[in-house]
Amino acid sequence: MKRQLEIDLLRQRMRFYVDGTLTREYWVSTARNGPGEVRNSECTPRGRHAIAAKIGAGAPLNSVFVAREPTGEIWSPVFAATQPPDRDWILTRILWLTGLEPGFNHGGDVDSRTRFIYLHGTPDPTPLGVPGSRGCVRMRNADIVELFERVEIGDEVVLHTG
Kindly tell me if the per-residue pLDDT of 108 is higher than 90.
yes
Whether the pTM exceeds 0.75: the reply is yes
Mean pLDDT of all residues belonging to the chain: 97
With bands split at pLDDT 50, 70 and 90, how would you rate the model's confidence at 8?
A: very high
Determine the Cα–Cα distance for residues 32 and 9; give it in Å rounded to an integer: 11
Q: What is the pLDDT of residue 43?
A: 98
- What's the CATH number for 3-160? 2.40.440.10
pLDDT, average across residues 116-135? 97
With bands split at pLDDT 50, 70 and 90, how would you rate the model's confidence at 86?
A: confident
Q: What is the pLDDT of residue 111?
A: 98
Question: HEC profile for 29-73?
Answer: ECECCCECCCCCCCCECCEEEEEEEEECCCCCCCEEEECCEEEEE
pLDDT, average across residues 37-50? 98
Kindly tell me if the per-residue pLDDT of 162 is higher than 90.
no
Percentage, residues of the chain above pLDDT 70: 100
